[in-house]
Chains A and B, each alone.
Chain A
Amino acid sequence: MTIYILWLRQLKRYFRSRARIVGSLGQPLLFLVALGFGFGPIFAKAGGGNYILFLTPGIVGMGILFTALFSGIEVIWDRQFGFLKETMVAPVSRLSIVIGRTLGGATVATLQGVIVLLLSLAVGFRPVSLALLPVAFVAMFLIALLFTALGTAIASLMNDMQGFQLIMNFVVMPTFFLSGALFPLAGLPTILSDVARADPLTYGIDALRASLAGASHFPLGIDLAVTAGVVLLFMAVGSWLFSRIEA
């Protein structure tokens, strides 16, 4: 019941801030159009095939990454606006609070990913197989869970938004740009390819690419297993840090 009501709260907050929904779609759309059409001809010439097909899973992942991380970081807002205290003094376990919030944030981020996916249809993307769509949704939800949990963990260590820029530049941007969302992982310089292997988003996006575009760098099973493993790890760390917050 606790989990449900906190999940519902995240959803209500999402649907009530239409400006935020629309605003956060601008960036993925820009990336799809500018990069997709801009690099498309070169990508095709280099033998990479259809760049929109390649790029879309990456941009869907980006939409989810941003929304999920910020849903997690909302803990700081709740701390500043006081609502966090209300949940912290309630006679429910911190674990159920953090699970409710994380599931809520992850649901919202998955919805955002679905909207990006629908938008990509407008720029010419077509999923290769309808049968694999459920797998894509699973991958989307896993990515969403992973980064909501990460956001929660980070937010549990911070007291205000002063560190926001830090997170943006040292967590969100590197996670996205080094994940293989924009470029193929094959034939990269060793350092970059090692970094990409250490980036949890890499596997999520690779799973999306396997299910939406029909090609992937790692086997789909490995992608999903690694992502799910990291989800469990981050959920555990996030819950632990959250349970130690003193409001």
Chain B
Amino acid sequence: MAIIQARGLTRKFGSIEAVSNVDFEVTKGEIFAFLGPNGAGKSTTIRMLTTLLRPTSGNIIINGIDPVADPSAARHSFGIVFQDPSLDDELTARENLELHGVLYGVPRTLRRERITQLLTFVELGERADDVVKSFSGGMKRRLEIARGLLHHPAVLFLDEPTLGLDPQTRNHLWSYLERLNQTEGMTVFFTTHYLEEAQKMARTVAIIDQGRIVARGSPAELIQRTGTASLEEAYLKLTGSALREESGGGIQGLRQNRRLWARR
């Protein structure tokens, strides 16, 4: 059974097609890796799946809901850890989690309990009541991950969750995610540039390049199909080894300039 379904998903920014005619499915309860070079359209796709961006055309079904038609209902179904920071720097770690729990309607007792538990899990227990602006980059990252898990969503989106984390924290995080995946049947949709991570964790992988899906399948299938030895080699074979523009540069900048003066 598919928990996420995208059909002909397209998003244009001006004349640039960031995502063009993308089709894929994510099965309920699986760990799904969405891979691709910088600027390939990964984040744009995630923004559309998570109601932050309206698709130019195509449709999406998430947990049986169309997020374009009923964004509010769709938002109940997922949690997201963004690629860029999204914490309130002036609030403490605990207050950030508290605010999130309230927004997601987690009952008070359960909320307090999970907050304490998650803060310990990401090893921020002792810094729980310090304002986030005093945290290092890694600490903020850990806090964001704790926050994404707070409401135990049906689907958890993670946009490069392990970027900048040390191997210890990475391992720690993945074992926690695996446990939630198994015990709660939580579907995990993640992007990463660490391909060994995708090979190890993901049951299904989709590779997107220049706005189009270029390959889909289990890591083993992709390795076999390309006649390579690892997912990393398969990935490089499929997407080529030319360097890409930094993510968020071109399209994001263009979008911002256009938006500053133009009404939508």
The residues of A with any CB-CB pair to B shorter than 8 Å are 1-2, 5-6, 9, 12-13, 16-17, 78, 81-93, 157-160, 162-163, 244, 246-247
Contacts and interface: CB of A to CB of B under 8 A. Distances in A.
A89 B50 contact: yes
Interface string B27-61: 00000000000000000000100111110000000
5 contacts: A9-B99, A85-B86, A89-B75, A162-B260, A246-B54
Contact of B86 (A2, A86, A246): A86
B244 to A, nearest CB: 23
Contacts of B73: 91
Interface of B: 47, 50-54, 72-73, 75-76, 78, 80, 82, 84-91, 95, 98-100, 102-105, 131, 147, 256, 259-260, 263-264
A247 B260 contact: no
Contacts of A244: 264
Contacts of A91: 72-73, 75-76, 103-105
Given A81-B89, A158-B260, A5 B102 contact: yes
Contact of A160 (B52, B84, B104, B260): B260
A12 B103 CA distance: 17
Contact of A5 (B54, B90, B103): B103
Given A92-B103, A158-B260, A9 B91 contact: yes
B103 A163 contact: no
B260 A83 contact: no
B52 A246 contact: yes
B88 A247 contact: no
Nearest to A83: B88
A93 B73 CA distance: 10
Given A82-B85, A84-B86, A246-B52, 15 more contacts: A1-B102, A1-B105, A2-B102, A13-B88, A16-B90, A78-B88, A81-B88, A82-B86, A86-B86, A86-B100, A89-B50, A91-B72, A91-B73, A92-B75, A246-B53
Nearest to A80: B84
A89 to B, nearest CB: 5
B84 A82 contact: yes
Nearest to B108: A1
Contact of B88 (A1, A9, A90, A246): A9
A9 B87 CA distance: 12
A85 B52 CA distance: 8
Contacts of A83: 86-88
Contacts of B72: 91-93
Most buried by A among B75, B80, B90: B90
Nearest to A6: B99
Contacts of B85: 81-82
Contacts of B99: 5-6, 9
Contacts of B103: 2, 5, 87, 90-92
B4 to A, nearest CB: 15
Given A160-B256, A163-B260, A12 B87 contact: no
Contacts of A90: 75, 100, 103-104
Nearest to B255: A159
A187 to B, nearest CB: 40
A159 B260 contact: yes
A218 B50 CA distance: 50
Contacts of A162: 260
A86 B80 CA distance: 9
B248 to A, nearest CB: 12
Contact of A12 (B75, B91, B256): B91
Nearest to B80: A89
A78 B87 CA distance: 9
Nearest to A157: B263
Contacts of B86: 81-86
A12 B95 contact: yes
B108 to A, nearest CB: 10
A5 to B, nearest CB: 4
Contacts of B82: 82, 85-86
